[in-house]
Structure 1
Amino acid sequence: MKKLIVATSNPGKMQELQEYLTELDWELQLKPDSLEIEETGETFIANACLKASGVALATGEWAIADDSGLVVEALNGAPGIYSARYGNTDTERIERVLKELGETTNRQAYFVCAIAIAEPDGSIAFSAEGICQGEILQAPRGTKGFGYDPIFYVPSVQLTFGEMNPEIKHKISHRGKAFEILLPVLKQQGIGHKK
């Protein structure tokens, strides 16, 4: 089994990534707590690459990183790459987005997820970006998920991320779409594929 270091200290994030990588023969491990990689990139993909590369170099192992966030049209793309830092808690972040949008009728938004996998020498072997289109509701709905999930409504399934069962979210989410691009490439290259 190949070891793959996940560039996060969040066990929930690791669990979510593990669910997408079940077909691959990889043992996922969290990055060391002491290892902090500064996200200085100006795009999601740049930040994912920075994190994957930094963790791979520091540990000497293959590493995977994702960077994701919410992009709201009427807020000129905010919170964007600052999604996680848009407030101190999920509730604060949601309240800030709703307050900034106010009564704006343009509620168009999308979630982006960029994933990068780095080789032990820090070079980026693979990267992919997935997008899920939706809109921002006036008030939160649903208690599943985390972050902006309760205010992010996907018209095609008529549910917020906060109302979706994991199977639906797994398929249509930005993370699901990024892995949809990435997994066939990994299998084709024979990277971590179960024999």
Structure 2
Amino acid sequence: MTMTVLVVATGNPGKLREIQPYLEGLRWELKLKPPEIEVDEVGTTFAENAALKASQVAIATQNWAIADDSGLEVTALDNAPGIFSARYGLSDGDRIDRLLRELGDHGDRSARFVCAIAVAQPDGAIALQTEGICLGEILTAARGKGGFGYDPIFYVPDQGLTFAEMPAALKQEVSHRGRAFQSILPRLKALDAEA
């Protein structure tokens, strides 16, 4: 079976590991983007940033590329931190502390995680795009030991758990990234058959 290279437009090996299970059984050979390729995330939406990353990495490597851009939107904070979720502090702890401080004791704690995914052809043209959303609430204190980022304070009422409390398989199924991959997978399989 011939493998087609699919460059994951991130330097983060953890993100590569998180994406791999969704693509099991397909003929895509996942590779991290080379560290020398830097993409400025100048888009104003998750979808724009995902498309920028996928397109620029595809052109630079002359391979298919996949990128995601994701973050947390808190209703009472006018959807902040949004596209700046990863830059809301110097560490996960800083980001959580800042978010809880800014939210204070506000009565509306509704929030959502958003994940946009884009797949680009080797010439940089966007072949596929989708978005996944997971609705939840922001707790007043962290719960759970798993996950990363805002996972310990993002509570999913349907599951009765924070992302940090969920077993990996459950988070993979109900998370914003999981939903985005469920949406794009049938089209990715069709591309895999053509590539």
TM-score by length of 2: 0.97
CA distance in 1, matches of 2:185, 2:87: 29
Point out 4+ residue stretches in structure 1 off by more than 4 angstroms.
Answer: none
Please state whether the residue corresponding to 1:69 is helix, strand or coil.
Answer: strand
CA distance in 2, matches of 1:84, 1:193: 35
Match of 1:5 in 2: 7
Match of 1:41 in 2: 43
Q: Is the 8 A contact 1:128 1:182 kept in 2?
A: yes
- Between stretches 19-28 and 66-75, larger displacement belongs to 19-28
Please state whether the residue corresponding to 1:64 is helix, strand or coil.
Answer: strand
Match of 1:99 among 79, 98, 101: 101
Match of 2:119 in 1: 117
Q: How does 1:1-195 map to 2 (within 5 A)?
A: 1-187=3-189, 190-193=190-193
CA distance in 2, matches of 1:193, 1:10: 28
- Between stretches 17-26 and 160-169, larger displacement belongs to 17-26
Structure 1, residues 163-193: CA drift from partner, whole Å, max 9, x if none? 0001110110000110111001222xx3224
Q: Is the 8 A contact 1:23 1:193 kept in 2?
A: no
Please state whether the residue corresponding to 1:192 is helix, strand or coil.
Answer: helix
Q: Is the 8 A contact 1:49 1:117 kept in 2?
A: yes
CA distance in 1, matches of 2:137, 2:180: 20
Please state whether the residue corresponding to 1:38 is helix, strand or coil.
Answer: coil
> How much identity, in percent, do the aligned residues show?
60
What is the RMSD of the two structures over their aligned residues, measured on CA atoms? 1.0
Number of aligned residue pairs: 192
